[in-house]
Amino acid sequence: MLNIPSRNESIKKFKANGGGIVAVTPYHYPKALFRAFNILPVELWGPPKINTLQSKAHIQTYICSVAHSILAFYLQGNLDLCDFILIPHTCDSLQGLGSIFLDFIKPKQKVLTFYMPRERRSVDISFLSKEIEKLYNQLCEFTGKKPDYEELLRHIEIEENATRMLKKLLSERQYLDIEDYKFYSIIRTKEFLPAEEFIEFANNVYLMYKTDKPINKTPIILSGLLPEPMEIFKIINEKNGFVAGDDLAITGRRLYPPPEGSNPFIRLAKSLIFSPPEPSRGDNVEARLQNLLEMAERTNSKGVIFYIVTFCEQEYFYLPQLRKGLREEGIKSILIDTDINQELSQQAITRLEVFLETLQ
């Protein structure tokens, strides 16, 4: 029987062995850098289904439910075990959340920020490498440690191997005989497991569920920030579909390429810079569309579900042109708006079921 590790167990185990914890909001950041300081990144994608009443005293109701949940989670004392909080400036909502933590709430944990450039030029690589080096110097100051290049590169290679393992699971998804809900519960352990443990766990999963024949269900692509509520997977599977293509920020958009080089800061910067095209980076529509079309061809998918957190403007901006471009290539799409703290509405479920039936 497969035992899926839990977030709390992972945190307590790492702390018990003398490590530190950094809570990380979505979604690009140099994970290996923290591991070199014996700090475990634990990602905060909400969490879902939490009471967000307290957060409404600090941020507007029209800010996305991910930001509300992160703030409410902190205010309820759930980050007390963490030593640091890292808030990448992924979007306006998270940039505002960073300001709230730094200037108003001022938690006992050290609050760090991280800026990702919006282009992929050499000057952007230079900027990002300096941003990573700045974060390194802050961690040196806060921890009293100073890992050398060799130690940094060792952890970079471990994280790269973990990303390769995730890519293997996603690229061979159609040959893994497992329902989507369990599959995503498995691969999302990468959000909190040490890379070494994720590699071992994911490899065991691969060997356990790998088959010679592809899944005999209708392949679709799932796009958006994160698959919450995760009940969507049960609906997809009940309608004889499965997620063959992943364009989610939480997984598929973070299949970072492993560049070479002896300077760890530049190496980390190049890896992050050349991530797949996605909205938070301001990539052009053509690059986003081409990525989806190639994914559809590779997985033989005839439909895309845009599973978008309500008020996520950077996701919404792309949709009219993306859906038009997909339609022109014979690929159907549907938009399902979500609030990660609420169940899917019956209307959304019905629309999704009808959409999946049209792909049969």
DSSP 9-26: HHHHHHHHTT-EEEEE-S
Specify whether the CB–CB gap between 300 and 219 falls below 8 A.
Answer: yes
Work out the angle between the directed axes of helices 264-273 and 122-143 (0-180°, nearest 10): 120
- Please compute, for residue 285, the number of CA atoms within 13 A of its CA located in the half-sphere on the CB side: 11
Q: Is residue 352 part of a domain?
A: no
- 3-state helix vs strand vs coil in the chain, percent to 5: 50, 15, 35
Cα distance between residue 94 and residue 63, in whole Å:
10
Give the model's pLDDT for residue 260.
Answer: 86
Give the model's pLDDT for residue 295.
Answer: 98
Residue 88, beta-bridge partner list: 114
CATH of the domain at 141: 3.40.50.11890
Give the model's pLDDT for residue 359.
Answer: 95
Give the model's pLDDT for residue 360.
Answer: 85
Any residues with CB less than 8 A from the CB of 132 and at least 6 apart, and which? Answer: 30, 33, 265, 268, 269
The DSSP symbol for 138 reads H
Q: Is residue 22 part of a domain?
A: yes
Looking at the structure of the chain, the number of domains it has is: 1
Q: Is residue 255 part of a domain?
A: no
Q: Is residue 337 part of a domain?
A: no
Q: Is residue 115 part of a domain?
A: yes
Three-class DSSP labels, 178-189: CCHHHHHHHHHH
- pLDDT tens digits, one per residue of 143-186: 999 999 999 999 999 999 999 999 999 999 999 999 999 999 99
Q: Is residue 78 part of a domain?
A: yes
Any residues with CB less than 8 A from the CB of 225 and at least 6 apart, and which? Answer: 26, 27, 45, 66, 248, 249, 250, 308, 309, 312, 315
- Geometric angle at alpha carbon 233, from 231 and 239, rounded to 5°: 110
Specify whether the CB–CB gap between 150 and 184 falls below 8 A.
Answer: no
Q: Using 70 as the pLDDT threshold, list the residues of the chain that sit under it.
A: none
Q: How many residues can be counted in the chain?
A: 360
Q: Is residue 104 part of a domain?
A: yes
Give the model's pLDDT for residue 103.
Answer: 93
The domain of 44 spans: 7-146
Cα distance between residue 136 and residue 132, in whole Å:
6
Give the model's pLDDT for residue 217.
Answer: 97
Is residue 329 classed exposed, middle or buried when 0-12, 13-18 and 19+ CB atoms within 10 A define those classes?
exposed
Q: Is residue 301 part of a domain?
A: no
Cα distance between residue 32 and residue 12, in whole Å:
20
Cα distance between residue 171 and residue 173, in whole Å:
6
- pLDDT tens digits, one per residue of 49-106: 999 999 998 999 889 999 999 999 999 999 999 999 999 999 999 999 999 999 999 9
